[in-house]
Homo-oligomer: A and B are copies of this chain.
Amino acid sequence: MKVEILAIGTEVVQGDVVNTNASWLSNQMSDQGFEVLFHTAVPDEENLMLDAMARAASRADVVLVTGGLGPTVDDFTLEVASKLFQVPLVPHAESLKRLKTFFQKFNRTMTPNQERQAMLPEGAAVLTNEIGTAPGIYYRYLSAHFGFFPGVPQEMKKMFTEGFLPRVLPFVADGPKRLRRVLRCFGLPEGQLDHWVQGGRSGHAELMGVELGFRVRFPEIDIRIQTTDARLEEAARRLDEAGDAILRQVGEYIFGQDEATLAQVASDLLLEKDLSLAVAESCTGGLLASAITDIPGASEYFLEGLVTYSNDAKIDLLGVRPESLERFGAVSREVALEMARGVRARAKSDLGIGITGIAGPGGGTPEKPVGTVHVAMVHSEGEWEQRYLFPWGRDRFKQVAVATALDRIRRHLLSIA
């Protein structure tokens, strides 16, 4: 079953909106074994819309149209569709009722342009919009299954999943499905990755039956494996084997699968080992604390985070010694360790983290260029400290420094009983 995704909207072709709907829909359809062959976008111009819909009907079995279902004058996707389908637009009583209820609920009066949203091509099956105002439709035109959705992602996703997909799934019921897995990596040396990219799958029989891809999701790298098969267990077995083979090669650089984050993995381990954490940050400015507290339930193990930008704060709050600041500088192994020790002692936590560095753009010297950062960890078994250079701009510097600290917590917790 061939698929075309068609976006309607001047804001899309003029680049004011990134068409994330297309990639989301493509991913969903590809997973189910549909073959997505075309993405198209055209502006709100009747002849271009009509052309695009007619061409899609002639070359695809499933056509997913997003945008142009709303109440404004720019929304006339269904008017154009009804011309292609050669049926009139007729009021849909149930949708009209939903609209009225929607406006009553928010104490707003419904204007005539709002009512237009309930005018649907005769014979269309309605895809109910439970979140917003504009209903979508399913329509069979010639041999093609058309789905029409609002451009608002949340509305579109719900209507696609609950209303549209069940109608077309039977057509690929016995066909091959795509299974995917993402191995999430951090700190992987480029040479190691190169070995995989350049060397490909030669010598790794386990990788023969899967597609292998890499994607940078800064500061992490995703290793993506996917395979397509009608026999789901067979496909899952291939993914497992390939995943295991990669794990044997890449090892500890892989911190999780699919939607795992370093903060989530570190948090799970802290909970599992019943250990508490406190952090002292200078150059990362609170981003480490924020990443940790992004995880629900962080209050179980996260005691405090101190953002000590000034030297005074480092001395007063963390007990960093003025001599260390003077002799080694605020960005030094000694100060990072004293920060980690200080915050751990202050908060009486099991783990203490200290980060100090130069985010830039100012503040660099030949010995300590912009991008220099010291990360330290102190715990009951000992102390650890390392210097890094991440000269990639302030934002990326903060991200990779925070990821480094989280990864260090993860590796430490994995290494203890």
Identify A23's interface contact among B15, B111, B309, CB under 8 A: B15
Most B-side CB within 10 Å, residue of A15, A43, A283, A394? A15
Residues of A278-335 whose CB lies within 8 A of B: 281, 283-290, 292-294, 296-299, 302-310, 312-313, 316-317
- Verify B298–A309 contact, CB threshold 8 A: yes
Which bucket holds chain A's interface residue count? 35 or more
Q: Which residue from chain B places its CB closest to the CB of A303 in the assembled complex?
A: B310
- Could you say which of A30-38, A77-85, A131-139 contacts chain B? A30-38
CA distance A398 to B304 in the complex (A): 17
B307 touches A313 (CB 8 A): no
* Choice from B16, B42, B306 contacting A37 with Cβ under 8 Å: B42
Known: A19-B19, A26-B13. A48 touches B37 (CB 8 A): yes
Our pick among B15, B22, B37, B224 for the contact of A15 (Cβ within 8 Å) is B22
- Complex Cα spacing A355 to B12, Å: 39
Overall SS of chain A's interface: mixed
Q: In the complex the two chains form, is A290's CB within 8 Å of B296's CB?
A: no
Q: How far is the CB of A179 from chain B (nearest CB, A)?
A: 13
Complex Cα gap A15–B215 (Å): 13
Instruction: Flag whether A24 is at the interface (Cβ < 8 A).
Output: yes
Q: How far is the CA of A353 from the CA of B12 in the complex (A)?
A: 41
Give 19 pairs: A residue, B residue, CB < 8 Å, sorted on A: A13-B39, A14-B26, A15-B25, A15-B29, A16-B23, A16-B27, A18-B18, A37-B42, A37-B43, A37-B45, A285-B289, A286-B286, A289-B307, A290-B398, A297-B362, A298-B309, A303-B313, A306-B317, A310-B347
Which residues does A use to contact B, with CB under 8 Å? 7, 11-20, 22-30, 36-43, 45, 48, 108, 111, 194, 198, 213, 215, 224, 281, 283-290, 292-294, 296-299, 302-310, 312-313, 316-317, 346-347, 359-362, 394-395, 398
With A19-B23, A286-B293, A293-B309 known, 9 other A-B pairs at CB within 8 A are A14-B36, A15-B25, A285-B289, A286-B287, A287-B290, A287-B293, A303-B309, A303-B313, A316-B346
